[in-house]
Amino acid sequence: MIEGPANSGVKRQVISYSRIALTDLTVNISKSAGKKELAAAWEEADIQSKWDASSWAKKLVRQQKRAKLTDFDRFKVMVARKQRSAIIAKKMQEMK
């Protein structure tokens, strides 16, 4: 059985082991814990802030942000990368 926090939209459900990716974040609850007990343990262990600070969560946020870019936003990113590369190449030539 899995269940996410109230604001995640993940309701209590049975899920296959092959679809689970384990993390080091744990919450100590009883096997028959209800929603209120789970929510209290989640808050007590401060799991959400620990998850938000993890590199995995940051990567997911980056992917979501990138997926929402418009064509013009992607163009601006491309131009900025080219400018950055030109600056780095120029500095490297100066150092030689």
Q: What is the pLDDT of residue 66?
A: 93
Q: Per the confidence metrics, is the pTM higher than 0.75? A: no
Mean per-residue pLDDT, 52-64: 96
C-alpha 24 chain-centroid distance: 15
C-alpha of 61 from chain center: 5
pLDDT, tens only, 11-46 = 889 999 999 999 999 888 888 888 888 889 989 999
Average of per-residue pLDDT values in the chain:
92
Mean pLDDT of 60-81: 96
The two tokens of residue 4 are 């996410």
